[in-house]
Amino acid sequence: MNNIVLIGFMGTGKSTIAKSLSEILSMTVLEMDEEIVRREGMSIPEIFESKGETYFRDLETDLLIEMQSQKAMIISCGGGVPLRERNVAEMKKNGKVVLLTAAPETILERVKNDDNRPLLKGNKNVAYITELMKQRQRKYEAAADIIVSVDKKSVQEICRELMEAL
Ligand code: S3P
């Protein structure tokens, strides 16, 4: 069984969908952000603050490469992972890449009370999210084998749609 790689902007629900899919399909989840936090012993804002974004991005690449030796995993990627070409090549080696999309308003609603995303610090508004999303859109779509929009859908509906497309 190939891996399922979930990508998408912050707040599109990758972690929630990964957890639900893992129960339905009896697959193991790797939550990239969580694994990096566990290994570094620091939160993501702390890693960005003390070591810088490039250091964090390199950890993402290393972890992704490591995961390609695994099978039957659901890999829930941090929102920035598909932005590096190398990362996209790695995720495609052994996985079906599923892009979750949502409207900026949906994203804002989900991230507004969360302080764990350094890129959105001081930028929690629809205009900023729309702009950052626009900058990333082409790379997200280029990486995806399957695209599922999550707006106004339940977790069950999203999982069903995704599994039908797999
Ligand atoms: C990031 C998304 C975050 C986390 C980091 C950077 C991004 O993950 O990896 O804050 O560049 O989009 P989530 O997509 O799980 O929020």
What is the C-alpha separation between 142 and 145, in angstroms, rounded? 8
Q: How far is CA 155 from CA 15, 99, 128, 143, 158, in A?
A: 11, 15, 26, 23, 5
With beta carbons less than 8 A apart as the criterion, state whether 109 and 126 touch. no
CA of 44 to the centre of ligand 1 (A): 9
**94 alpha carbon to ligand 1 midpoint, in Å?**
22
pLDDT in tens, 77-121: 999 999 999 999 999 998 999 999 999 999 999 999 999 999 999
Question: Looking at residues 140-165, what average pLDDT do you find?
Answer: 97
The share of the chain scoring above pLDDT 90, in percent, equals 96
Mean pLDDT of 119-131: 97
- At 134, is the pLDDT very low, low, confident or very high (cuts 50, 70, 90)? very high
**Which pLDDT score is estimated for 51?**
98
Task: Determine the distance separating the centroid of ligand 1 and the alpha carbon of 117, expressed in angstroms.
Answer: 6
- Provide the pLDDT for residue 94: 86
Choose one of 16, 32, 119 to mutate for the ligand 1 pocket test, by most ligand atoms within 8 angstroms of C-beta: 119
Please report which residue ranges of the chain form alpha helices under DSSP H: 14-25, 32-40, 44-51, 53-67, 85-93, 104-111, 126-143, 155-165
Side-chain-side CA neighbours of 131 within 13 Å: the count stands at: 8
Whole-angstrom distance, CA of residue 132 vs CA of residue 161:
26
Pocket test for ligand 1, best of 117, 124, 131 (most atoms within 8 A of CB): 117
Q: What is the DSSP secondary-structure string of 25-62?
A: HT-EEEEHHHHHHHHHTS-HHHHHHHH-HHHHHHHHHH
Q: Supply the residue whose CA is at minimum distance from atom 12 of ligand 1.
A: 79
* Cross-strand partners of 109: none
**pLDDT in the model for residue 82:** 98
Would you say residue 124 has pLDDT above 80?
yes
pLDDT at 1 over 90: no
Name every protein residue with a CB atom under 6 angstroms from any ligand 1 atom.
10, 14, 33, 44, 78-80, 117-119
Nearest CA to ligand 1 atom 10: 117
